[in-house]
Amino acid sequence: MTAGGLDRAALLHLAVPALLFALQFVLPDYHHVNLARVMVLASFAAGYNIVFGYTGLLSLGHAMFFGAGLYTAGLLAQYAGVAAAPGFVLAILAGALFAALVGILALRTSGVSFMIVTLMFAQAAYLALHYFGDYTRSDEGFVVPAELRRLFGLALADPATRYFTALALFTGTLAVCHAVARSSFGRVLAAIRENEERTRMLGYDVFAYKLVALALSGAVSAAAGAAYAMLFGYVGAGLASIQYSIYPLLWVLMGGAATVLGPFLGTLAMFYLVDTASGFTSAYLFLVGLALIALVLFFPKGVLGTLRERALPWLP
Amino acid sequence: MTTKAAKPGSFRVNRRTALQGMAGAAGLMAAPGFVRYAQAHSGAPIKLGVPIHRTGIGASYGRWYERVLTAAVKLVNEGGGIAGHRVEAIVEDDGTDPRRGTEVIEKFATQHKVDAVFGHLFSHVVNAAAPRAGELKMPYIVCSEGHHVASVKLNRYCFQPGITDVKSQVQSMAPWVMANLGKKVTMIFPDYAFGHDHRDYFSAAVKAKGGEVVALIPIPPTETSFTRHFPKIPASTEVLYHVMVGPGVLTFVKELGQHFGSKRPQLFGFVDSIEAVDLASPALEYLEGTHFWEGNPRYAQANQSAHDKFFRERVGVDANGASKSDPKDVSTYAHMFSVWETLFIIKQAMEKADYHGPEKKVAFMEALESLKEFPESRQHPQGRKIFNGKTHQVFGHQFISKVENKKLKVVHKTSIEDGMYPDEGDYTKMSF
Amino acid sequence: MDFGPYLLLATMEGAVGAAVLALTALGLSLVFGVMRVVNVAHGEFFMLGAVIAWWVAHLVGAHPALGFLAALVVAPIMVGLVAAVAERLVLRRLGYDPEATIVATIGLLYVIQQAALSTFGPDARPVEPPVDFRILLPWFGYSGYKLLVIAAAAALMLCVWWVLARTRVGLMMRATRFDRETARAFAIPVDRVYGGVFALGAMLAAVGAVLIVPIQQAHYLMGHDPLLLSFIVVIIGGLGSLRGTVLAALVIGMSDGVISVFFSPTLAKILATLLVAIVLVIRPTGLFGARAA
CB B150 within 8 A of CB B392: yes
For B94, name the nearest residue in chain A, comparing CA atoms only.
A278
CB spacing of C264 vs B281 below 8 angstroms: no
Residue B418 Cα to chain centre, angstroms: 20
Strands B212-219 and B184-190, bridge-based pairing: parallel
Interface partners of C (3+ CB pairs, < 8 Å)? Answer: A, B
Number of domains in chain C: 1
- Residue C237's pLDDT is 84
- Kindly state whether C220 is in contact with chain A, defined as any CB-CB distance less than 8 angstroms: no
- Residue A97's pLDDT is 97
Chain B residues touching residue C118 (CB < 8 angstroms)? none
Q: How confident is the model at residue C78 (pLDDT cuts 50, 70, 90)?
A: very high
For A127, name the nearest residue in chain C, comparing CA atoms only.
C270
Q: Which of A293, A297, A306, A309 to mutate to test the interface with C (most CBs of C within 10 A)?
A: A293
Residue C104 resides in a domain: yes
Question: Over 80: is that where the pLDDT of C289 sits?
Answer: no
Four-CA torsion B200, B201, B202, B208, nearest 10 degrees = 110
CB spacing of C143 vs B277 below 8 angstroms: no
Q: What is the mean pLDDT of residues B137-163?
A: 95
List, as ranges, residues 21-40 from A with C-beta within 8 Å of B.
Answer: 28-34, 37
- Residue B114's pLDDT is 96
- The mean predicted confidence, pLDDT, of chain B is 87
CB spacing of C140 vs B251 below 8 angstroms: no
Which one, of B142, B121, B140, lies nearest residue B131 by Cα? B140
CB C202 within 8 A of CB C82: yes
Question: Over 90: is that where the pLDDT of A210 sits?
Answer: yes
Q: Which of C215, C222, C232 to mutate to test the interface with B (most CBs of B within 10 A)?
A: C215
CA distance linking residue A227 with residue C221, whole number of Å: 31
CA distance linking residue B375 with residue B384, whole number of Å: 4
Q: Which of A57, A64, A102, A113 to mutate to test the interface with C (most CBs of C within 10 A)?
A: A113
- Residue B27's pLDDT is 36
Least confident of A22-26, B419-423, C266-270: C266-270
Half-sphere exposure of B238 (CA within 13 A, CB side): 12
Residue A1 resides in a domain: no
Which residue range(s) make up the domain with C80? 3-223
Q: What is the mean pLDDT of residues B217-227?
A: 82
CA distance linking residue B313 with residue B317, whole number of Å: 6
CB spacing of C225 vs B62 below 8 angstroms: no
Model confidence over C100-146: pLDDT tens digits?
888 899 899 999 999 999 999 888 888 888 887 888 888 888 888 99
**What letter represents residue B123's amino acid?**
S
Helices (H), B273-327: 306-315
pLDDT cut 70: percent of chain B above it: 90
Which residue range(s) make up the domain with A165? 15-241
Question: Over 60: is that where the pLDDT of A64 sits?
Answer: yes
**What letter represents residue C83's amino acid?**
A
Instruction: Indicate the residue of A130, A137, A279 with minimum beta-carbon distance to B191.
Output: A130
Give A242 or B185, the one with higher predicted confidence.
B185
Number of domains in chain A: 1
CA distance linking residue A294 with residue A309, whole number of Å: 18
Give C3 or A188, the one with higher predicted confidence.
A188
Residue C278 resides in a domain: no
Residue A262 resides in a domain: no
CA distance linking residue B245 with residue B288, whole number of Å: 19
CA distance linking residue A191 with residue A186, whole number of Å: 9
pLDDT cut 90: percent of chain A above it: 55
CB spacing of A127 vs C104 below 8 angstroms: no
Residue A310 resides in a domain: no
Strands A154-155 and A150-151, bridge-based pairing: antiparallel
Residue C47 resides in a domain: yes
Residue A64 resides in a domain: yes
- Residue A315's pLDDT is 79
Model confidence over C218-252: pLDDT tens digits?
989 899 888 888 888 888 887 667 788 888 888 88
**What letter represents residue A117's amino acid?**
V
Q: How confident is the model at residue B39 (pLDDT cuts 50, 70, 90)?
A: very low
At A65, give phi and psi (nearest 5°). Answer: -80, -40
Instruction: Indicate the residue of C14, C123, C264 with minimum beta-carbon distance to B60.
Output: C123
Question: Over 90: is that where the pLDDT of A63 sits?
Answer: yes
Using CA atoms, how far residue C233 sits from A110, A309, C276, C288, in Å, is 17, 38, 9, 11
- Kindly state whether A233 is in contact with chain B, defined as any CB-CB distance less than 8 angstroms: yes
CB spacing of B276 vs C9 below 8 angstroms: no
CB spacing of B220 vs A140 below 8 angstroms: no
CATH class of the domain at B3-164+336-395: alpha beta
**Shortest Cα distance, chain A CAs vs residue C192, angstroms:** 20
Give the C-side interface with B, CB within 8 Å: 1, 5-6, 9-10, 13-14, 16-17, 64, 114, 117, 121-124, 126, 128, 134, 136, 140-143, 215-217, 219, 221-222, 225, 257, 260, 264-266, 268-269
DSSP conformational letter for B286: G
Model confidence over B354-367: pLDDT tens digits?
999 999 999 999 99
- The mean predicted confidence, pLDDT, of chain C is 87
Cβ atoms within 10 Å, residue B417: 9
- Kindly state whether B211 is in contact with chain A, defined as any CB-CB distance less than 8 angstroms: no
Helix (H, G, I), strand (E, B) or coil at B383: coil
Evaluate whether B3-164+336-395 and B166-294+397-419 have a shared fold: yes
Model confidence over B155-202: pLDDT tens digits?
999 999 999 999 999 999 999 999 999 999 999 998 887 888 899 999
Q: How confident is the model at residue A6 (pLDDT cuts 50, 70, 90)?
A: low
Model confidence over C53-66: pLDDT tens digits?
999 998 987 788 89
At B319, give phi and psi (nearest 5°). Answer: -70, -15
Instruction: Indicate the residue of A109, A124, A286 with minimum beta-carbon distance to C280.
Output: A109
Cβ atoms within 10 Å, residue B223: 23
Question: Over 70: is that where the pLDDT of A5 sits?
Answer: no
- Residue C113's pLDDT is 93
- Residue B283's pLDDT is 73
CB spacing of C273 vs A123 below 8 angstroms: yes
- The ipTM (two decimal places) reads 0.84
Q: How confident is the model at residue C283 (pLDDT cuts 50, 70, 90)?
A: confident
Cβ atoms within 10 Å, residue C140: 21
Gyration radius (Cα) of chain C, Å = 19
Instruction: Indicate the residue of C111, C273, C274 with minimum beta-carbon distance to A290.
Output: C111
Chain B residues touching residue A33 (CB < 8 angstroms)? 106, 110
Model confidence over A259-284: pLDDT tens digits?
899 999 999 998 998 888 887 777 88
Helix (H, G, I), strand (E, B) or coil at B46: strand
**SS in 3 state form for chain A?**
CCHHHHHHHHHHHHHHHHHHHHHCCCCCHHHHHHHHHHHHHHHHHHHHHHHHHHCCCCCCCCHHHHHHHHHHHHHHHHHHCCCHHHHHHHHHHHHHHHHHHHHHHHCCCCHHHHHHHHHHHHHHHHHHHHHCHHHHCHHHCEECCHHHCEECCEECCCHHHHHHHHHHHHHHHHHHHHHHHHCHHHHHHHHHHHCHHHHHHCCCCHHHHHHHHHHHHHHHHHHHHHHHHHHHCEECHHHHCCHHHHHHHHHHHHHCCCCCCHHHHHHHHHHHHHHHHHHHCCCHHHHHHHHHHHHHHHCCCHHHHHHHHHCCCCCC
CATH number of B166-294+397-419: 3.40.50.2300
Where are chain B's structural domains? 3-164+336-395, 166-294+397-419
